[in-house]
Structure 1
């Protein structure tokens, strides 16, 4: 044994009976995956020193004993490391560069055997070796820009020299995970083989390199020399890429453009100079608010996934499901279930509704075929997972039923009590209600313990969140089975307790309440939309209401007003009600706050509509000019306060789950980290002061809770990780 650590072992043997070679194996003890924590990187340095000091070696294979190769750096360390400042981060990256360079400079050929996911720092390790051989099921990529940083351990240096600047920019700026065939096509790997042949293929490459068939020194020269692009080629590659990437990334995400600039600055330089440029750029991005929040999101996402996994461990099997109510929503649920492999019955009382549901599912599958994600054969096979029916004939064998009929408590009650008599005693019933109390819907059920909410967001195939709602009598088993099914569908379930609107809609409607007050006092809704979109929302509140539908919004608002009359009930007519009464329902009938025309792709495109402007103007009781900052405050404070209340009321368990629900459910700007991180960023004291100022003028919707005031006074935060205090949320 050449080296043995907690995560790395290096052994030597002879290559097919020939010369001795070393095999460096990553196998982090106590973990299901390999991660590059500070401790593991330090071990790697020691292991490489031990390899370099071993006489008589003729090659090195780097491999993994786990299913994944290396999933990247240990992101849970990032906030603590980044707190130490720019100089520390530059020095840290240069230390890693020295270790990686030592691998690259070993006096014999080297090869990495990529058996599974090789992401971030894991991908960068593979780039240090002369050759790479990849299992046909593995994936490789540099997703750092999704965390607001760029590859800092040589990814911006080696990858462009290996696969060309244009391909490298696509991989790095897009943060993509790339399949083996794609990696082979661009030259990121030298061979793709079945997993069981991986070690033999790696050893064969070493033997061929030592025999002179493969020139490993030429490979090294290419990776450590300037890019082979003249001035005109450089300008064409980099300037074109900057324009395209800036358009895709948007103004709030600087990392993809910075990565291109790093590659461009280092294009004419050798290895060490390039690495210095990369280390400096990494350190600057690591200290930005965007990076802080995106890293926080990753950590929050891990919290949500871990909680979901705990439910799955105790869940009963869900092998056959059903959806009640076809149409667009039922068809979307059926598609999602079928596409991920869980067979589903789709029941309705009307033949035309069944046909509409099937049409929706077929359309979604056809899009997958168009994008070459599925073959027509696979599509046909998956479609057989959806069985339409007008009767309850096969419901005795169903493990879980999703009720997705119209949002009317009487109709839902009738359907749920009826289906309960048609299913087995252990079958879980779940209602896809967006607002109606689960406890209330359970009142007439014989087995309320088997009933919970399963709130999908529209469109089902795109929106990642599913709220799993626990009623007063819902059992842990019902929640666990529903969470398990949601995860099997490829969704992110978050368990919440029952209240009007649950979590996401309860938080969203105070945001709409702030919008209604602004419009009532003379704000131009088009300007409000532009300001909130510039703030980071995918669409402004008026546009969002058009997408949601005015009828849906009015109904949901009535539920909220009944549940929380002190702050959500309104006297007088709101702009939302006025639109509804004027039969301006939004995109569903092509007129709401905006009018809608079809664009070239057949999608609705919003245009200004004088009739809507006049309707809103008639409701205005004042004509105030609002600054951008005032509009942001009046929109964001009610949303953030309601999130705080949901946490305090126990509707949601943790800040992480609350923030992830808003990001996944309503498109809260990810780079701002979520409502509670947004408050932390401003500072609780400053946020409470802002809320109290607005509450004096605008009432209870803006009033902070006593507990929040106490937290502010005590200097507390929602998240314990520090460093957010430097951020400016506006």
Structure 2
């Protein structure tokens, strides 16, 4: 029999070597072709008496098997399969196939009585095995993994709103115990081979060149096998079932901890725990059906569809250069000049060097330039101490960064990234000095966070090669980058910017050239709403907890401290100067003046803002705040505060979409989640608006506008879409 995705070779001992190799793909995944091929092979394997056992491995240098093709899974939320029964059968297909592999096609009752045995199947894992890849490994009777600490073994499905749907919630606890299984499945964090072996998930860790030979050796020595859970008297490691005191205590504690960390926003976590609980009190065949039931509930939900679309499909498309001009040749970037060695410039220098490029880090003072390089040294030293990078690799990275004050050192760079102080005059000066020495074809990018690129490009003699690349702080941790073409930016500059972002492994979105771009158009209204609530006497703890319940990583008052009240006041005054409007009567402006000018509480860096930051202690809300903003006698409900904080983000995000600041809903969603941490469980603001429905969105926004002010008025485009019954993601209709 011939296959598209696997190669089967049977040796003289009757042992089949099954090698997974999806053609044209860099990584093996469970796609429709592999599922079809593997099911055919399993049927042949259990029926052919001349085949005595099997070893399953991969020919890909990238890994063993990385789980299911999420592009394929995304279709389950749509029109086909249509009925609940069809959806269940489709979801249960992988479980059915893997169960047949591990039982040899025999009934569980025959295995239990010892009247039948399965043919031995061993996994020879030569690279990462994640999700459905690890579930295939778990269905094998013996598991041999290459001795490489970088190999990842895990079930990360929860990160896109799913649960392991190929037996992961059932075989893991039967091998490693309920607690270890819960940690893996609810957090989605992978294990290295030796840790997995220590938990009983795999049996052998051997040199990479020996994995297949060792697996074959085991198969040959064990002609008749039965999985532990198919044997009479099997018990969960560490206890399991509804009556075991250890399991009872585990489920009580794990459920409480899970809901505390997820704020009830992630049903996948709850369903994983349900699979573990229900599966621990029934035979595995029933348990696998329970798992598939919960898998279907998630797979057909709006939330999971939104998370898969934004966090995987659209993120991957953006990182592969979906918005890159197709007719521009790839940009060769070997050396990059970074202007300004402050916090942003130092971070940009680090990620650029980490991406394999040489960096010329220029500042007006050599001490500052060297301090900028020292930032990278600090990251490298921490990585070495934690075993995340070798000393040699760290030294190679640092050697690629050259601090300087001499503009002539920029003469042979392939790209410039400017990250000097946010002042148009200072930027104009460095643009002219830099263009005097760099090559005529070099792209010049500005890391400005608010100044329009078209205005800055007026100081350039080559505006067609001038573009914005807006990073977020801290650069080494924040995944998003905004690419901002100016009015005269050409395709070459856009292509080069996207090529650079791909090299540093960030997620790009292309946005319109306007003050604040996208993220800085949305975050200030969100922070301002939280400060306005403070001036109204709302308890700061209520504000912060409402944001956390929404799913934000930190509360908006804490975020304000991070960005600093001083910066907020400076921007407010600059905006007032530019627009000619007087903000002195606005409550938020008055609060910022009080904090900065009167109290000296300018934010975290200055020692305090809304929070206190005791040295060696835990941050806590500033108790003195109530002296200036007394608590109101009647406090709003959590839901009321949550709605204001949510719509303070949804409305400006919708306005940016209406104005074309972001050109499509996927960019708006990616920018929100990866730029300022908008609640990932929603899939992003546009996905969330689609989920609640545009009519409901408009109705709620109008209600908030009537009660709290015109800032909550929904954009005209969204009113029109609501009346027409439209959706932002048309394919999701």
* Alignment TM-score, normalising by the size of structure 2: 0.87
Please say if 1:426 is aligned against 2:441: yes
Post-superposition shift, 1:657? 1.3
Q: 1:639 to 1:716 in 2, by over 3 A?
A: same
Post-superposition shift, 1:696? 4.4
Could you say what secondary structure the match of 1:511 adopts?
A: helix
Post-superposition shift, 1:556? 3.6
Post-superposition shift, 1:713? 0.5
Which of 223, 227, 243 is matched with 2:236 structurally?
A: 227
Looking at structure 2, the residues matched to 477 and 222 of structure 1 have their Cα atoms a distance apart, in angstroms, of 65
Q: 1:318 to 1:715 in 2, by over 3 A?
A: same
Q: Encode CA deviations 1:431-489: one digit per residue, 9 max, x unaligned.
A: 11110111111111111222211211111121111112111111222222222222222
Please say if 1:474 is aligned against 2:489: yes
Looking at structure 1, the residues matched to 175 and 723 of structure 2 have their Cα atoms a distance apart, in angstroms, of 55
Name the counterpart of 1:71: 66
Could you say what secondary structure the match of 1:322 adopts?
A: strand
Looking at structure 2, the residues matched to 538 and 301 of structure 1 have their Cα atoms a distance apart, in angstroms, of 20
Could you say what secondary structure the match of 1:598 adopts?
A: coil
- CA-based RMSD of the aligned residues comes to 3.4
Name the counterpart of 1:296: 309
Q: 1:264 to 1:223 in 2, by over 3 A?
A: farther
Please say if 1:125 is aligned against 2:142: no
Looking at structure 2, the residues matched to 279 and 566 of structure 1 have their Cα atoms a distance apart, in angstroms, of 60
Which of 81, 92, 95 is matched with 2:93 structurally?
A: 95
Could you say what secondary structure the match of 2:468 adopts?
A: strand
Q: 1:41 to 1:487 in 2, by over 3 A?
A: same
Name the counterpart of 2:156: 143
Name the counterpart of 1:529: 544
Which of 43, 46, 52 is matched with 1:49 structurally?
A: 43
Please say if 1:713 is aligned against 2:727: no
Name the counterpart of 1:726: none
Which of 662, 665, 668 is matched with 1:652 structurally?
A: 662
Is this contact kept in 1: 2:695–2:722, CA < 8 A?
yes
Name the counterpart of 2:279: 266
Is this contact kept in 1: 2:527–2:559, CA < 8 A?
no
Question: What pairs with 1:13-24 in structure 2 (closer than 5 Å)?
Answer: 13=10, 15=11, 18-24=12-18
Q: 1:496 to 1:551 in 2, by over 3 A?
A: same
Name the counterpart of 2:172: 159
Post-superposition shift, 1:546? 1.2
Which of 456, 471, 477 is matched with 1:456 structurally?
A: 471
Is this contact kept in 2: 1:398–1:423, CA < 8 A?
yes
Could you say what secondary structure the match of 1:177 adopts?
A: coil
Looking at structure 2, the residues matched to 357 and 53 of structure 1 have their Cα atoms a distance apart, in angstroms, of 66
Post-superposition shift, 1:676? 0.8
Post-superposition shift, 1:358? 3.2
Q: 1:693 to 1:256 in 2, by over 3 A?
A: closer
Relative to structure 2, which stretch is displaced further, 321-330 or 436-445? 321-330
Name the counterpart of 2:604: 587
Question: What pairs with 1:502-521 in structure 2 (closer than 5 Å)?
Answer: 502-521=517-536
Question: What pairs with 1:167-566 in structure 2 (closer than 5 Å)?
Answer: 167-192=180-205, 197=209, 201-203=211-213, 205-212=215-222, 216-217=225-226, 221=230, 225-230=234-239, 231-235=244-248, 248-256=261-269, 258-267=271-280, 269-286=282-299, 290-297=303-310, 298-307=312-321, 310=324, 314-557=329-572
Looking at structure 2, the residues matched to 245 and 161 of structure 1 have their Cα atoms a distance apart, in angstroms, of 21
Name the counterpart of 2:651: 641
Is this contact kept in 2: 1:567–1:699, CA < 8 A?
no
Post-superposition shift, 1:258? 3.9
Could you say what secondary structure the match of 2:374 adopts?
A: helix
Looking at structure 2, the residues matched to 55 and 10 of structure 1 have their Cα atoms a distance apart, in angstroms, of 19
Is this contact kept in 1: 2:324–2:494, CA < 8 A?
no
Post-superposition shift, 1:607? 2.7
Please say if 1:110 is aligned against 2:121: yes
Looking at structure 2, the residues matched to 547 and 585 of structure 1 have their Cα atoms a distance apart, in angstroms, of 10
Looking at structure 1, the residues matched to 373 and 144 of structure 2 have their Cα atoms a distance apart, in angstroms, of 44
Post-superposition shift, 1:412? 1.3
Post-superposition shift, 1:347? 1.5
Name the counterpart of 2:692: 682
Looking at structure 2, the residues matched to 126 and 473 of structure 1 have their Cα atoms a distance apart, in angstroms, of 54
Please say if 1:632 is aligned against 2:645: no
Looking at structure 2, the residues matched to 424 and 69 of structure 1 have their Cα atoms a distance apart, in angstroms, of 45
Looking at structure 2, the residues matched to 388 and 130 of structure 1 have their Cα atoms a distance apart, in angstroms, of 56
Post-superposition shift, 1:44? 2.9
Looking at structure 1, the residues matched to 260 and 384 of structure 2 have their Cα atoms a distance apart, in angstroms, of 27
Q: 1:68 to 1:317 in 2, by over 3 A?
A: same
Please say if 1:605 is aligned against 2:615: no
Q: 1:280 to 1:548 in 2, by over 3 A?
A: same
Post-superposition shift, 1:593? 2.7
Looking at structure 2, the residues matched to 484 and 112 of structure 1 have their Cα atoms a distance apart, in angstroms, of 38
Unaligned ranges ≥5, structure 2: 105-117
Please say if 1:35 is aligned against 2:33: no
Post-superposition shift, 1:403? 1.3
Q: 1:640 to 1:351 in 2, by over 3 A?
A: same
Post-superposition shift, 1:115? 3.9
Name the counterpart of 2:591: 575
Looking at structure 1, the residues matched to 701 and 581 of structure 2 have their Cα atoms a distance apart, in angstroms, of 16
Post-superposition shift, 1:236? 6.3
Relative to structure 2, which stretch is displaced further, 92-101 or 260-269? 260-269
Could you say what secondary structure the match of 1:402 adopts?
A: strand
Post-superposition shift, 1:36? 2.3
Q: 1:256 to 1:631 in 2, by over 3 A?
A: closer
Looking at structure 1, the residues matched to 289 and 304 of structure 2 have their Cα atoms a distance apart, in angstroms, of 20
Relative to structure 2, which stretch is displaced further, 123-132 or 508-517? 508-517
Aligned pairs, number: 706
Is this contact kept in 1: 2:119–2:224, CA < 8 A?
no
Is this contact kept in 2: 1:456–1:467, CA < 8 A?
yes
Is this contact kept in 2: 1:532–1:540, CA < 8 A?
yes
Post-superposition shift, 1:542? 2.2
Could you say what secondary structure the match of 2:730 adopts?
A: coil
Relative to structure 2, which stretch is displaced further, 120-129 or 335-344? 335-344
